Chains A and B, each alone.
Chain A
């Protein structure tokens, strides 16, 4: 009996240790980024573009990367939404037969798991084929591809949660499929839809590998869709590798800003989801 009790307690301790390990990595990562980033942070970091280029340092901030990242992520989110909304509804029973829907879900799952460097490689090939250079447009196209599976799959999960009875009631009242979709299903699923978009947005704004060659990098703020564009993840990646302290500071600041944006998006999606779900019938 004693040894059984011992095993039980041993594993309990191991489990708690594992949990503490996981939680402390989270705390550790946050602490490192916040402390390093905070020391590097100043107003000029937020509102100035880098002075004197990336090899020379000479002050300035990461405004180019902040604006660039927002351009990229918002552009891609809107584009991905335009495709994801109809796709998520089309996956439902009313519109598509089960086998085709299942096959599509499977392809989406593969696409979700596809490494972002593969999207980057493919995107770059596509752009060469189309004669595009590394630009805001190219970055948006590749990020859209990356966001699509995340957005469609999570929207679709939400739509499937809508109770079928609601739809049946609507049909019984004589509505068409499309009317039911818009008036009943869409409204019920709205909070989840917003969460899905925010989830994809958060993933897109943090991704570096896919835009490494498709969005380019520049010290300027882009003025057209065909200009190259800087981004926060790449600002971290490029600038941390230099031996110049001023430039490294910019990397730390960029990392803190990026982390703050991702956390904000995370919190916002939870709060919005909770707020809108008040009117949802379950």
Chain B
């Protein structure tokens, strides 16, 4: 399979992953209270651990909305 053949799958895949990562990044920057860890740690996790990072942040790391 060539890359061109795979594009119809890869484009939506990349869009989905980055939507989740960016929503998580905005949340990390706007709500500086976390259940554990600090801002820098969460920025790295959310941006560099695609898919797993944002999920871990929203389920375990997100602090109370203030």
Asked if A pairs with B, the answer is no
Query: Which residues of A are interface residues toward B (Cβ below 8 A)?
Result: none
Query: Which residues of B are interface residues toward A (Cβ below 8 A)?
Result: none
